[in-house]
Amino acid sequence: MAQQTDCTSIGAHLNELARADQQIRQDWNLLEQDAKTTAAQRDDLQQRWRTVDSENLTQLKQIVTACGWPKTSKDSHSAWLLAQHADSDIAFQRFAKGLLEVSVKAGIAAARDLAYLADRIAANEGRPQEYGTQVSQTDRCHLVIKPVDDRQLVNRRRLAIGLQSLEEYEAEGRRRFIPPDCANSAIERKIQ
């Protein structure tokens, strides 16, 4: 028998799923900061990461199917985070983006969340980003901003929704993700 979703208490459940999502990513960042990390440790954590994302996607789909998009900003943010990391199902990400757009127009969800999800989908589909939110860490000492349509336009769009400039975002990325022992840490720019 299918499990019944209680739509009155989805917030706590979404927040629990979001905590697991963030914990596995924090574990990865710590692992990547350590120059002594082995391939086996990386493989093990990547497998756990895939499991967390897969289970979260399954549960988010059940919640959205039964209850629609969350009706509070906090719960919407948690649902967005899970959709953001549902890279194994781009069709679902597109579906979630449509629900999130409605929520932003209703004043519930943050435009910032919508920008991140739109960029994630664009990057996953090989299209340029509009907000420059998606980066990849090519190795422990380098981040690459995935392609954007036009750097100047990206900064205007970012400003319009309250995001810091792309240059400030790059600097923050360096501080957060590049270990101090990397001599020439830099963010490479790939602009198309």
3-state helix, strand and coil shares in percent for the chain, rounded to the nearest 5 = 60, 10, 30
3-state secondary structure of 179: coil
Could you tell me if 14 and 78 are in contact, meaning their C-beta atoms sit under 8 angstroms apart? yes
Distance between CA atoms of residues 131 and 148, nearest Å:
7
- Comparing 184 with 56, the larger pLDDT belongs to 56
Q: How many CA atoms lie within 13 Å of 109's alpha carbon, on the beta-carbon side?
A: 27
Residue 17 and residue 57: Cα distance in Å, rounded? 10
Do 18 and 81 contact (CB within 8 A), yes or no?
yes
Task: Please report which helix (H) or strand (E) contains residue 189, including its range.
Answer: strand 186-191
**Inter-helix orientation angle 73-84/39-67, to 10°:** 130
Task: Of 76, 179, 37, give the one whose Cα is nearest residue 84.
Answer: 76
**Section 126-131 average pLDDT:** 97
Q: How many CB atoms lie within 10 A of CB 141?
A: 16
Mean pLDDT of the chain: 90
Give the Cα separation of 60 and 65 in Å (integer).
8
Look up the pTM and report it. Answer: 0.87
- The conformation of residue 147, written as its DSSP 8-state character, comes to E
Q: What digits encode the pLDDT tens for the residues 92-116?
A: 999 999 999 999 999 999 999 999 9
Nearest to 8 by CA among 54, 75, 83: 75
Percent of the chain whose predicted confidence (pLDDT) is above 70:
93
Question: Residue 64's pLDDT band (boundaries 50, 70, 90)?
Answer: very high
